Structure 1
């Protein structure tokens, strides 16, 4: 079991290093990640991967690994939490749906519920994308700085 975990950890770190070592600027990596977070956090009914494939094909500067990593981060249990928080936020902003309780949800209230869900989801997706951009930008800058500093310390072969 430990060997398997170690091999998975090695593959994950090598993937992260490949992503940072790719010919993308920290801004491009962070922007790709932020775009991915926004798309995956929205209720896209599983079409995010197809959209990411199109973006990766048509947008040369998009970081493919940064896009795909958002799918890994926003797995189904995480998305359930995001959707629950989205509905709560939408209901907090717009107020509860009139005449609807948890035990008595009907299709007549569908639009009101959906609107609250989408409003909260959009706000959360924007906030998470901005936070994701800042975090990934700082991580990639630190990684590239560390890589640059380490290469200066190695003596040149003369």
Structure 2
């Protein structure tokens, strides 16, 4: 069951990234857009992250909207709870336990301490996740476009600039 969900999530991420790959953006722009999306999605924004995607997409023309929205798939609401737990654990490891919090109960006065640990851990994990996402997305986009130029990948509606761009000296454009 878990394996099926993982393969389905992997398939959906791949589909969205393929859409982003064939957009008219450079590999760096797609990778940066995906990593920005991962960073925002990882933060505990209570759903306002999608609104932030729209605002950023409107303000910055070179951000790939598809790549940003594709970042929502790996960090879906089910996975985010585990991400938040790991964030709080990391924050607690760095700042120490929250005074007044025990298994018997939590006082409302402990709220700022809990939030500080959650946000600290979350910022660290979100940054690390964004760096990994950039590297992976850049490699995937570059490899995908090389395969398209070689004719190894049948893709419909690939912009001519991608098929004929010569980013790598060892890859000749397809004739």
**TM-score between both structures, scaled by the size of structure 1:** 0.84
Deviates more, 1:85-94 or 1:50-59: 50-59
- Answer yes or no: is the 8 Å Cα contact 2:12–2:73 preserved in 1: no
Q: Which residue of 1 aligns with 2:30?
A: 29
Give SS of 2:105's match: coil
CA distance in 2, matches of 1:17, 1:132: 15
| Secondary structure of the structure 1 residue equivalent to 2:72 | helix
Q: 1:82 to 1:67 in 2, by over 3 A?
A: same
CA distance in 1, matches of 2:88, 2:14: 35
Higher relative contact order (CA closer than 8 Å, sequence separation 6+): 1
Q: Which residue pairs with 1:64 in the alignment? A: 65
Q: How many residues align?
A: 147
Structure 1 residue ranges, 4+ long, deviating more than 4 angstroms after superposition = 9-15, 151-154
User: Is the deviation greater in 84-93 or in 70-79?
Assistant: 70-79
**Greater share of helix residues, 1 or 2?**
1
| Partner Cα distance (1:113, 1:121) in 2 | 12
CA distance in 1, matches of 2:12, 2:35: 23
- The TM-score normalised by the length of structure 2 is 0.77
Please give the root-mean-square deviation of Cα atoms over the aligned residues, in Å. Answer: 2.1
Structure 2 gaps of 5+ residues are: 1-9, 152-162, 164-171
Aligned residues of 2:16 and 2:67 also touching (Cα < 8 A): no
Moved more, 90-99 or 24-33: 90-99
Whether the 8 Å CA contact 2:150–2:173 is kept in 1: the answer is: yes
1:50-73: per-residue Cα shift (whole Å, max 9, x none)?
Answer: 111111122111111111111222
